[in-house]
Amino acid sequence: MKPITVAIAQLDFTVGAIKRNTETMLHCLGQHEDADIVVFPELAVTGYPPEDLLFRSDFEQLVSDALTRIADAAQQQVAIVGHPQRVGSELFNSVSVLHRGKCLARYHKQRLPQYGVFDEQRYFIPGHEACVFDWQGHRIGVLVCEDLWHPEPLKRTREAGADWIVSLNASPYEVDKHEQRLHVLQQRVHESGLPIVYVNNCGGQDELVFDGHSMVVNSDGQVVAELPHCQPTIALVRFEATGIRPLDAVHSPQPTAEGKAEITTQRLEQVRQALVLAIRDYVTKNGFKGVTLGLSGGIDSALTMALAVEALGAAAVHAVMMPFRYTSKMSLEDAEQQARTLGVKYDVIAIEPIYESFLQQLAPQLADHSPDVTEENLQARSRGVLLMALSNKTGSLVLTTGNKSELAVGYCTLYGDMCGGFAPIKDVPKTMVFALSRHINSSAGEQLIPQRVIERPPSAELAPGQTDQDNLPDYEVLDKIISLYVEQDWAPSEIVDAGFSQADVLRVVRLIDINEYKRRQGAVGPKITSRNFNKDRRYPITNHFRYEMERQLTTEARHEKN
């Protein structure tokens, strides 16, 4: 076999932007005429996931036109392109191998994921045949994403005579996902003995973040080339008689003996990059001029603003402090300090007159009621009205600043602090909010987030002396219970058996279940854990199963006492 050069096009493709995606691929082909093969990610023509756009006939015609243009442009090299393909009444998640106006081979994805955020069986029919094409003496097998997570598709491709594999992917990010992918690739290589070129999408799409991190694994299971995390990149690798070697921007990772601290730092850095990419793509792809957020002097809004500035630049960020009688001097000082440090536009708008006006108008209706959470929520809703007015007037997007822990238990106000169009940290647990904030400061070598904000007890400051822990377990405990119940589907009794207080478990689980109606009305935000609130976890709002769980747990506790 003669040497062959493969261009890995780890690029950012936008859902529905078929013409723009096509232009991106044509530009890539023009810039890499020295490559023998250029590989694009799964469904690159349409972006991933196209969802119900796939039902439109006019959508299909644009896809067909795009494939014709790409095939005509691939004069010097082969283009391997992911796209939907209709055959009669059946729609496939397909790959075409294109060269000089012709389709040399076509593959239909065999394994269609139907779990978590994936819904491919709603749209596609699975393929059943292997695809191996010949190019310059190489027999190259084609697979798509989920195919690699099962042994049969690769086994079938190897039996069809493949020398090595190209896998097109749109694999969303979550913490430690790269390690999971690498384990799967090495397992498939061990079973087949075939090298794998793994090409992943890279960009933000609503609540999904595609982190790139494409790689090439040789026949010994070693990673010989690895592309960056969350950075659109085109890189070359060369298949030679002596093996596979990376060229230009791609690098060959070196084995290290990282300790726990280094692994934790790397994990936090990857989360930071994923959140930044998600903010940047959501704002720019949806045509917003910038973002507006409420800066409270607390850690959640401080982290959100730091991420937004990194994603968009300080000129595109407008921070608004909206103090009330319970807002501490410390909060005012820290908010102003951070705004000044990051260089954003900063305004202070007091909500006291608005709040008093609301109370005055409601006085006849509330006269027979004692003050309670209603008055606290009015504060948050006054702030929400102001932020949305600024958004309407300036064309900016309001970023909500709630984290996963408070959204889980409903410590947020509908039409108040939940107002907004995008929630950057909605899948970030509170303990990770603190860790990320410390990491950002450490990486920057300065306090982009004021140290007092990180160190002080968290508080919504809706009442005198209020802290988040007044009615909740410590966040270390709370986040573990949330993880077990939400992300791992443990029963409450199992969580108690693992050593957690029954009272804490019952309270937290009840709060999670009864606040589904709030979360359903919240803004989308990027998924970074194994299960987020939205597509990943689809619980009914009207849900009495919690009564069965509570009854079982309290019954078991009584039996133990007897």
Q: Is the pLDDT of residue 192 over 60?
A: yes
How confident is the model at residue 213, as a pLDDT? Answer: 96
The helix-helix angle for 57-73 and 18-31 (nearest 10°) equals 10
Q: Would you list the DSSP string of 25-45?
A: HHHHHHHTTT-SEEE--TTTT
Residue type, 154: L
How confident is the model at residue 471, as a pLDDT? Answer: 75
Given a contact cutoff of 8 angstroms between Cβ atoms, the answer to whether 371 and 378 are in contact is no
3-state secondary structure (DSSP) of residue 349: coil
How confident is the model at residue 102, as a pLDDT? Answer: 96
Q: Is the pLDDT of residue 401 over 50?
A: yes
Task: Read off the pLDDT band of 256 (50, 70, 90).
Answer: low
Given a contact cutoff of 8 angstroms between Cβ atoms, the answer to whether 481 and 492 are in contact is no
How confident is the model at residue 334, as a pLDDT? Answer: 95
Q: Over the stretch 119-135, which tens digit does the pLDDT of each residue have?
A: 999 999 999 999 999 99
Question: What's the rounded Cα separation, in Å, for the pair 425 and 405?
Answer: 10
Is the pTM value of this prediction over 0.85?
A: yes
Average pLDDT over residues 100-105: 96
State the CB neighbour count (10 A cutoff) for residue 195.
24
Average pLDDT over residues 235-255: 77
Closest CA to 137 of 239, 57, 220, 63: 239
Per cent of the chain over pLDDT 90 is: 85
Task: Read off the pLDDT band of 350 (50, 70, 90).
Answer: very high
3-state secondary structure (DSSP) of residue 418: coil
Question: What's the rounded Cα separation, in Å, for the pair 77 and 100?
Answer: 8
How confident is the model at residue 152, as a pLDDT? Answer: 97
Average pLDDT over residues 215-228: 95
Question: What's the rounded Cα separation, in Å, for the pair 349 and 292?
Answer: 13
What's the CA dihedral at 113, 118, 122, 126 to 10 degrees? -20
Task: Read off the pLDDT band of 72 (50, 70, 90).
Answer: very high
Q: Is the pLDDT of residue 538 over 90?
A: no
Where is 353: in which H helix or E strand?
A: helix 352-366
How confident is the model at residue 214, as a pLDDT? Answer: 97
Q: Is the pLDDT of residue 355 over 80?
A: yes
Average pLDDT over residues 179-183: 96
The helix-helix angle for 475-482 and 430-444 (nearest 10°) equals 110
Quote the mean pLDDT of the chain: 93
Task: Read off the pLDDT band of 362 (50, 70, 90).
Answer: very high
**Among the residues of 251-298, which ranges form H helices?**
260-285
How confident is the model at residue 562, as a pLDDT? Answer: 47
Q: Is the pLDDT of residue 95 over 90?
A: yes
- 3-17, 37-51, 169-183, 244-258: least confident range: 244-258
Question: What's the rounded Cα separation, in Å, for the pair 218 and 242?
Answer: 11
Q: Would you list the DSSP string of 485-538?
A: IIIS---HHHHHHTT--HHHHHHHHHHHHHTHHHHHTSPB----SSS-SSSS--
Q: Would you list the DSSP string of 291-321?
A: EEEE--SSHHHHHHHHHHHHHH-GGGEEEEE
- 272-276, 321-325, 540-544: least confident range: 540-544
Average pLDDT over residues 511-529: 95
Residues marked active site are found at 42, 109, 145
- 188-192, 433-437, 553-557: least confident range: 553-557
Where is 217: in which H helix or E strand?
A: strand 215-217
Q: Is the pLDDT of residue 558 over 60?
A: no
3-state secondary structure (DSSP) of residue 275: helix
